[in-house]
Structures are given as C-alpha cells and as structure tokens.
C-alpha cells in the first residue's frame, strides 16, 4: 500500500520538512493512462475517476467550476477538488473534472527516490513532421516583426509544432517518468483531454497560486537555450540577464501580471529586476510577484485570478486582441490546450494554476509537440526558430527522438 495519503478528493497541506520517502514517487509510479497526475513544488497529486465534469455553457468558467464543486459537496463528497486543463481559447471547452479520489504526497523534489534514473526510453521509429516547416515559421516571425516596426502591435508569441508518429502504441507512463525525473522541481502533468487523448508535459511557469489570502505569480519571459559546456552555459545565463531585448520582453509580461492582479490585491511586491530559473534545456528570466487579497476580493479563487491573467503576454502578446488575431493568421494549427492553463482548485478558493508549455498532446500512436517564442521588434527569425527548437528538446528527450 502506498505511503501517500488516500482521502477522497482531499488535499491536505504538504509537509516538505517531513516527507515520507517514496510517497511522491509512488504516485508517479502508480500513474496509468486515464488518470490525472500533477506534480508542483508544493505537492504531488494523482486523481482517479471523473466523478463530475465541469460543463461547457454560457456561464463564466469560474462560476461553472464553483457550481460543480458545490454539487459535489451537496452529494456528500468531502473537500472536493477540481483538476484539469483550460485551453488557450478560454471560450472553448475545458477538460476539468471533480475526481472521485485524489491521493496526495509531498513534492517530487523532496523525495530522495526521484533521483533514481527513469530508465531508457523505449526504442521507437519516430516519423517527425514539422508544422509549419522551420523556414515557414521564420517567415512568419519576419512578417510579424515588420508589422511591429509599422506600429501595429508590440509583441506576439508565435508557436510551431512537431507531429511525431510511432509504429507502436505510446508509453505514456514512461514519458511521464522521464519528464518528472528530469525536472522534479517544476510542474509535471498528464491528464485526459478527450477520448484516448492525453495532455502531458513539464512546465516551468506558475501562472498564479492562492493559499488563504496570499497570492503568488511567477511570470517567465525571455529565454535562451542551455549548453552542455559549463562555461558556455554560464555565459549564456549572464548574457540573458543583460539582454535589452529579453529584459524588455520580460518587463511587458510582469507589468501585465501586476496590472491584472492589482485590483484584487494589496501590499503587492514586484521586484525591479528579474532573476534566472533553469530547466534541463532552457534559461528563463523570472520574476516572482506576490500580494495579499484585499477584503473586497477575499472570495476570489485561484481560478478567478488565473482567468483574470490568462492569456498573459508571455503566451499571447500585446495588445492581446491584436496578438490573438496575428496568431490566428500565422499559425496553421489550433493550439488547443497549449499555452492554456493546467492545475487544481478547492471550494475554499485555494489552488495552483500553471501555464501549459513544454507539452504535447498524445493520441494512440501520435504526439503533437508545441513550442513558442515571444516575438518583439528586435527579434531575428533564425534565433526564434532556434529557441523553439531548444524548447522541443524537453519532450524529445523524454521519448528518445531527435530532430
């Protein structure tokens, strides 16, 4: 029997100071397709049984979630939790459920067993098709930059995809193991988004969390690929911290987050300069924004705050409506849940919602990988194409594929 707690849809506070050895990794090991797995720096969750689906109708999403949680309480479910994903287009159907049971443990990073290797990826003869082709993506970047120089907008995030097809069924548990063990301090997830479809990934970016009246957001914008050479890796990190182009891009996102949260918070803290965070493949400029919910917004849930933020300029651009239109005109695919939101929330308003990046949608023998880059007037097509290629590496390494 697992050392992790098993309480119907109840998420007790994690105790990172006294984690049970093997508790978090046991949930990772127990994941099976159809389950919902979510690991954050605060806790590890494994949900089973879609007890109630959040409906898709004309009501605001947060209102529908609140009503679904209330129905679960009325039906006798103790401390129900909503968990799942919201698409980039928040008017499209979400994949949110109130599961029958949720098992919880401390963060993966606090479990010593997470340091054990995941094992080699299964041998697969992957067929890889870029959509669009890198050259076409670069042309889209150049066209967007030209429009920015004409003053039409100031930033847009443009994405491209890789379609991977395998001759054998996908091994989702093995992919999840490799993603989680490579970056255990990040946000790793796998959850169903439709019949035989799974959203799986490892995001570095917290959109917003709420614990009591404390609010935290951690926008990331401005990135550079890591290097296997230590000296070069340090040089790239230092260069990113001084990059005028990347610091401007980052400042735009931080300001947008600040402006969106300010009506709900008092005592906000917004550092003047970003710091760096790293994943296995990328360096990112990072700013942690904190605040306290005002008395007027005391009832605002983590999801309410997430929807006030989504989409940030880090995944869309600015002005938002213009950037959305440029994305629709330039990207030859539907983003779906990519650059959406994934996370969990409780009826009391606490929760964590994460920006859905470094991810793929899996279906039978096919994976669609996504990667985007923030385009500003100083962007160069070759550099942005290379950045998206580096971002693909997170998932490519998890499935044993190479470009």
Tell me which residues are annotated as active site.
155, 205
Q: What b-and-e string marks burial along 159-189, b requiring 16 or more CB atoms within 10 Å of the CB? A: bbbbebebeeebbbbbbbbbbbbbbbbbbbb
Name which of 77, 337, 331, 289 is nearest 193 in CA terms: 337
What is the distance between the alpha carbons of residues 188 and 196, in angstroms, rounded to a whole number?
Answer: 20
- CA 22 to chain CA centroid, nearest Å: 25
Separation CA 274–CA 260 (nearest Å) = 19
Nearest-angstrom CA–CA distance, 95 and 356? 13
How long, in residues, is the chain?
Answer: 403
Q: How far apart (Å, rounded) are the C-alpha atoms in residues 97 and 112?
A: 31
Asked if 129 contacts 163 with a C-beta cutoff of 8 angstroms, the reply is yes
Q: Which structure tokens are listed for 375?
A: 């385009």
Residue environment code for 71-103, b if the CB has 16+ CB neighbours within 10 A, otherwise e: ebeeeebebbbbbbbbbbbeeeebbbbbbbbbb
222: left (phi over 0), alpha (psi -120 to 50) or beta: left
Cβ distance 99 to 81 under 8 Å?
A: yes
């Amino acid at each position: 029997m697992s050392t992790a707690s098993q309480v119907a849809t109840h998420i007790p506070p994690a105790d990172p100071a006294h984690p049970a050895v093997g508790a978090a990794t046991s949930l990772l090991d127990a994941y099976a397709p159809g389950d919902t797995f979510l690991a954050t720096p605060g806790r590890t969750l494994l949900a089973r049984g879609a007890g109630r689906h959040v409906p898709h109708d004309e009501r605001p999403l947060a209102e529908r979630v609140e009503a679904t949680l209330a129905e679960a309480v009325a039906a006798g479910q103790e401390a129900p939790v909503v968990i799942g994903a919201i698409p980039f287009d928040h008017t499209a159907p979400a994949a949110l459920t109130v599961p029958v049971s949720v098992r919880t443990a401390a963060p993966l990073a606090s479990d010593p067993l997470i340091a054990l290797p995941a094992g080699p990826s299964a041998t697969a003869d992957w067929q890889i098709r870029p959509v669009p082709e890198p050259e076409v993506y670069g042309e889209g970047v150049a066209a967007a930059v030209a429009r920015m120089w004409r003053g039409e907008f100031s930033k847009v995030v443009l994405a491209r995809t890789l379609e991977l097809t395998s001759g054998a069924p996908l091994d989702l548990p093995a992919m999840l193991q490799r993603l989680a063990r490579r970056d255990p301090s990040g946000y790793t997830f796998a959850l169903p988004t439709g019949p035989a479809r799974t959203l799986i990934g490892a995001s570095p970016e917290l959109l917003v969390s709420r614990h009591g009246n404390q609010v935290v957001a951690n926008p990331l914008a401005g990135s550079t690929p890591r290097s296997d050479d230590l000296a070069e890796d340090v040089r790239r990190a230092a260069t990113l911290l001084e990059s005028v182009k990347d610091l401007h891009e980052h400042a735009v996102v931080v300001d947008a987050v600040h402006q969106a949260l300010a009506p709900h918070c008092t005592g906000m803290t917004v550092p003047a300069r970003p710091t760096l965070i790293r994943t296995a493949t990328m360096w990112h400029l990072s700013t942690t924004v904190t605040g306290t919910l005002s008395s007027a917004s005391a009832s605002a849930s983590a999801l309410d705050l997430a929807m006030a933020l989504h989409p940030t300029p880090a995944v869309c651009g600015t002005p938002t409506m213009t950037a959305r239109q440029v994305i629709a005109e330039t990207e030859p695919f539907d983003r779906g849940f990519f650059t959406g939101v994934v996370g969990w929330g409780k009826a009391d308003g606490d929760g964590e919602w994460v920006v859905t990046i470094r991810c793929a949608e899996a279906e039978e023998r096919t994976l669609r990988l996504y990667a985007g880059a923030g385009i500003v007037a100083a962007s160069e097509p070759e550099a942005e194409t290379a950045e998206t290629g580096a971002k693909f590496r997170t998932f490519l390494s998890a499935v044993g594929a190479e470009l």
